[in-house]
Amino acid sequence: MSGGPSWFTEEHVLNILSEYETFPKLVKLNSWSLKPATSKGENFASSLNVLESKYILSDGSEKSSSFIVKCRLENEMMDAIESDFNVFERETQVYRVIIKEMEGILRSIEDYTELAPKAIYLDDKMIVLENLKNRGYSIGDVKVGLGKEQISMICEKLAKFHACSMVLYDKFADMFKNHLSANMSENENPLHIFYKNAIDTCIQFCESKPGLQKYSSKLKEFHPKVISKLIDVFSRNEKDRYHVLNHGDCWVNNFMFKDKTENVIFIDFQEGYYGSPGIDLNYLFCSSLTKDTYIQHKNELIIEYQNTLSDILRKLHYSKYIPSVEDVHFEILNKGFHGLATVTATLPILMNMNPEVADPMNFILDTDDAKANRIKVFNNPRYEGILEVFLKEYVEHNILI
């Protein structure tokens, strides 16, 4: 039976299992179920489901399996976003080609890093992946944030991901053709409405908090410019020091940890973009660190990232310029408006303590209920403390002026 997309049938299960069980071959499907893998508000851009099945193989053995089935969302808002940004094609290319090539070149230097879950089956409607929970992996808690040890693991793996993309792009640029279009379009779309409504709510939130009131006038200046600033973030230009394939959505829910600090694997590559690494690094630092980790260890984490990036590039005999620590700092500041948009619009949703108002339509609609629900999302004591740290920093760096 299926509790997932209306189009998903037993035939799809048979196709998946036939791809997965090549020898001995599948002969009979006994039972199957498809159920949501996430709670309301945890995933806005796709439908994540767990496929459980029991079956018999040609050698007479009985087996069971558990996979993650990621499908396109069936709603008008996501249809509009998909048509602008081809998010499904971006992610399919990562799993079908790019991850395999990255892990292949790492193996050539005896680095056995695992970057992503194994892809089991792909077609034009779904991506079927191994269920990492079967290997003891779980996500962190965005409501708490990640500490130094976990973020260090992420920075090391992100640096390897970025370095491999630089090497591959230098040799096979066409591999990244799906990742060259920007994640922000000049065409009016639901994302424009989202950012404008979210930042408007952030302004109201700041005005209600004595420690944040001094930033409200500056945010009012930023509000009408947010779309043009984000369009500039998602551009490749001569000011950029270096370019990489960005994961594009580097936050807690897209990292799965084995025993918290044994290993980390990235998931969810649908917002990948080939451009400044400042995109990934700003989003990671703004969305996923505890406040203390950010204040005490940010510079140390940047050095760790650059050390791994340069080490991998040298081992892979990258012939072009190898970025320095100063270059990494530059890219983070150069794309600082991405960080500002993250903390004023996206972060409160990622940290939302009220799942009953997690519907993304609350940031698209202009009804009284939607506006009230937006305020509920922002009213989070932990968010207030983090926002104050970042707004102070963005003023100091002339990003919020």
Q: What is the CB neighbour count within 10 angstroms for residue 170?
A: 12
Query: Which residues are CB-contacts of 400 (< 8 A; sequence separation ≥ 6)?
Result: 215, 218, 219, 222, 340, 391, 394
Residue 42, pLDDT score: 55
Q: Take residue 234 and report the two structure tokens written for it.
A: 């998602």
Rounded percentage of the chain residues whose pLDDT exceeds 90: 87
Residue 147, pLDDT above cutoff 80 = yes
Domain boundaries, the chain: 10-71, 77-117+138-396
Q: Take residue 105 and report the two structure tokens written for it.
A: 């070149």
Q: Which helix (H) or strand (E) holds 8?
A: none
Query: Which residues are CB-contacts of 90 (< 8 A; sequence separation ≥ 6)?
Result: 178, 179, 269, 270, 271, 272
Residue 77, pLDDT score: 62
CA distances from 85 to 26, 81, 200, 273, 275 (A): 37, 6, 25, 10, 15
pLDDT digits (tens, 9 = 90+) for 285-332: 999 999 999 999 999 999 999 999 999 999 999 999 999 999 999 999
Query: Which residues are CB-contacts of 130 (< 8 A; sequence separation ≥ 6)?
Result: 67, 68, 117, 118, 120
Please state, in angstroms and rounded to a whole number, the distance separating the CA atoms of residues 245 and 320: 16
pTM of the prediction?
Answer: 0.95
Does domain 77-117+138-396 sit in CATH 3.90.1200?
yes
Q: Judge contact between 287 and 263, C-beta under 8 A.
A: no
Residue 43, pLDDT above cutoff 60 = no
